[in-house]
């Protein structure tokens, strides 16, 4: 990415719905307990969208804050990318709904499907468009309402997920700053380990698919865990190599927030001290595409990065996919 126009993050915003679902609330819904959830995942609570809130509503709130912090309005945008696996509906895209609500007339808008890796895929896409000169200011949002696709009678999955949105404005930054490398990847062969089988063109929604709960997330937790630990390590090493850096250059590590044990394994591999790692899975659980931007934006709001710091984001998820980036803040 040398000799290209420097592109980075110039505005940030986040939103989580008001309602909080705690581990003790879940104890009343399924056969689980706070001790199991905290010790196996690190999660204490998660936010759940109100019945009248859809993914675009969460995304909109985060987007307004990101635009405000960039000193922009919707009309300054020429590209909107929403990473999500829970669009308001199959189509129109959630990005098009936002384009209208934000008054981003003329901006290109599309959704991006890479599950929990979606935000980093979106950053790479927006950066490429801007570096090529095709666009100048892009809004990249990770937003998901996982509560809408979670089976609250299945203790294997329902304790893990939450709702939220994180947004950034991506644009030109001063020389020396911005994105230095991306590492995106996929292992489609593992797709069935984490999926929603029903409701698409293979298995269209029907009374039978609903009865068989095919519209909910299915996950093979143990296999996904192994994949996650492996690719968090390999993607991190690879993206640092591409950036011409090593682990000692990392000032802040922003991993996908799925399970604190997966984050700890990456910390050990990179020998990173706690103060260099963002962890908020305890408050929000796994919010899929929103997870990394929620962590990044929260860290920014807490003043954990200063200009020139090296920020490493890494995510993994359904697909199976992974995505990592090195950003000089
Ligand atoms: C799901 C996950 C937390 C399970 O943790 P684990 O230590 O692997 O637990 P196991 O799968 O070994 O299950 C242990 C037992 O706990 C039980 N269990 C599962 N969920 C439970 C819950 N909420 N409460 C209590 N017990 C539970 C299981 O039924 C199993 O019981 P069994 O041994 O009698 O069959 C873990 O595998 C994980 O985090 N996987 C990755 C998930 C992920 O990141 N997904 C999103 C990717 S983007």
Interval 127-145: pLDDT, tens: 999 999 999 999 999 999 9
Distance CA 263, CA 190 (A): 21
Within 10 angstroms of residue 160's Cβ, the number of other Cβ atoms is 22
Q: How far apart are CA 268 and CA 276, in angstroms?
A: 12
Ligand 1 site residues, Cβ closer than 6 angstroms: 32, 36-37, 40-41, 116, 155-156, 159, 194, 219, 221-222, 224-225, 228, 258-259, 286, 317
| 170, pLDDT greater than 70 | yes
CA of 83 to the centre of ligand 1 (A): 26
**131 with 92: CB under 8 angstroms?**
no
pLDDT at 2: 58
Residue 202, classified by CB atoms within 10 Å of its CB into exposed (0-12), middle (13-18) or buried (19+), is exposed
pLDDT over threshold 80, residue 6? yes
Q: Place domain 179-328 in its CATH homologous superfamily.
A: Thiolase/Chalcone synthase (3.40.47.10)
Q: What is the pLDDT of residue 269?
A: 86
User: What mean pLDDT is reported for the chain?
Assistant: 97
Digit-coded pLDDT (tens) for 204-228: 999 999 999 999 999 999 999 999 9
- Residue 66 CA to ligand 1 centre (angstroms): 35
Report, as an integer, the average pLDDT of 64-87: 98
pLDDT score at 1 = 64
Query: Measuring from atom 26 of ligand 1, which residue has the nearest CA?
Result: 32
In this structure, the residue with its CA closest to atom 19 of ligand 1 is 156
Please identify, by atom number, the ligand 1 atom nearest to the C-alpha of residue 33: 24
- In ligand 1, the atom with minimum distance to the C-alpha of 155 is 23
What is the percentage of the chain residues whose pLDDT exceeds 70? Answer: 99
Residue 145 falls in the annotated catalytic set: no
* pLDDT for 328: 98
- CATH number 1.10.3720.10 given to 7-175: no
**47 included as an active-site residue:** no
- Backbone region of residue 162 per phi and psi (left: phi > 0; alpha: psi in -120 to 50; beta: other values): beta
**How far, in Å, is the centroid of ligand 1 from the Cα of 246?**
33
The residue whose CA is least distant from atom 47 of ligand 1 is 317
240-278 pLDDT tens trace: 999 999 999 999 999 999 999 999 998 998 899 999 999
Q: How far is the CA of 221 from the centre of ligand 1 (A)?
A: 6
Q: Indicate whether 92 pLDDT > 90.
A: yes
Compute φ and ψ for 326, nearest 5 degrees. -115, 125
Q: How confident is the model at residue 297 (pLDDT cuts 50, 70, 90)?
A: very high
Q: How far is the CA of 147 from the centre of ligand 1 (A)?
A: 18
Identify the residue whose C-alpha is closest to ligand 1 atom 11. Answer: 222
Q: Which helix (H) or strand (E) holds 259?
A: none
Give, as one character, the DSSP assignment of residue 324: E
The residue whose CA has the least distance to atom 5 of ligand 1 is: 40
Using CA atoms, how far apart are residues 271 and 215, in angstroms rounded to an integer? 40
- Polymer length in residues for the chain: 329
- Mean pLDDT, rounded, for 19-43: 97
232 CB contacts (<8 Å, ≥6 apart)?
A: 255, 256, 262, 263, 265, 266, 269, 314, 316, 322
Q: Which atom of ligand 1 is nearest to the CA of 26?
A: 23
Could you tell me where in the chain the CATH 3.40.47.10 domains are found?
7-175, 179-328
User: Active-site residue among 96, 116, 145, 158?
Assistant: 116
Atom of ligand 1 nearest to the CA of 317: 48
Task: Give 140's contacts (C-beta < 8 A, 6+ positions apart).
Answer: 81, 83, 119, 122, 123, 125, 126, 167, 168, 169, 170
**Is 116 annotated as catalytic?**
yes
User: CA-to-CA distance for 281 and 5, rounded, in angstroms?
Assistant: 34
Select from 52, 62, 149 the least CA-distant residue to 98: 62
Question: Looking at ligand 1, which residue's alpha carbon is closest to its atom 8?
Answer: 222
* 4 band by pLDDT with thresholds 50, 70 and 90: confident
Among 37, 221, 318, the mutation site with the greatest number of ligand 1 atoms within 8 A of its Cβ is 221
């Amino acid at each position: 990415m040398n000799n290209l126009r420097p592109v980075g993050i110039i505005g940030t915003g986040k939103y989580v719905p008001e309602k909080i679902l705690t581990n003790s609330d879940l104890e009343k819904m399924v056969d689980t307990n706070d001790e199991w959830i905290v010790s196996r995942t690190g999660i204490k609570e998660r936010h759940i969208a109100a019945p009248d809130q859809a993914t675009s509503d969460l995304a909109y709130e985060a987007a307004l804050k990101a635009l405000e912090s960039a000193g922009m309005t919707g009309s300054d945008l020429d590209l909107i990318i929403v990473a999500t696996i829970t669009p308001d509906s199959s189509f129109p895209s959630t990005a098009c709904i936002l384009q209208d609500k934000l008054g981003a007339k003329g901006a290109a808008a599309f959704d991006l499907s890479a599950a929990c890796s979606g935000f980093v895929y979106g950053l790479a896409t927006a950066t490429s468009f801007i570096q090529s000169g095709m666009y100048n200011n892009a809004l990249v949002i990770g937003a998901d309402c996982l509560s809408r696709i979670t089976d609250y009678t299945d203790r294997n999955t329902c304790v893990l997920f939450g709702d939220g949105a994180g947004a950034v404005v991506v644009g030109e930054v001063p020389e020396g700053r911005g994105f230095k490398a991306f590492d995106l990847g996929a292992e489609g062969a593992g797709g069935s380990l984490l999926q929603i089988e029903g409701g698409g063109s293979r298995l269209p929604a029907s009374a039978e698919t609903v009865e068989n709960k095919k519209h909910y997330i299915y996950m093979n937790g143990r296999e996904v865990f192994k994949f996650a630990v492996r690719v968090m390590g390999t993607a991190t090493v690879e993206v640092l190599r591409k950036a011409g850096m090593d682990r000692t250059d990392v000032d802040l590590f922003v991993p996908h927030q799925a399970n604190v044990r997966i984050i700890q394994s990456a910390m050990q591999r990179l020998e990173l001290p706690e103060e260099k790692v963002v962890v908020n899975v305890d408050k929000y659980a796994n919010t899929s595409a929103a997870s990394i931007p929620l962590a990044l934006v929260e860290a920014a709001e807490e003043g954990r990065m200063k200009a020139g710091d090296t920020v490493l984001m890494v995510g993994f998820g359904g697909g199976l996919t992974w995505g990592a980036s090195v950003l000089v803040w």
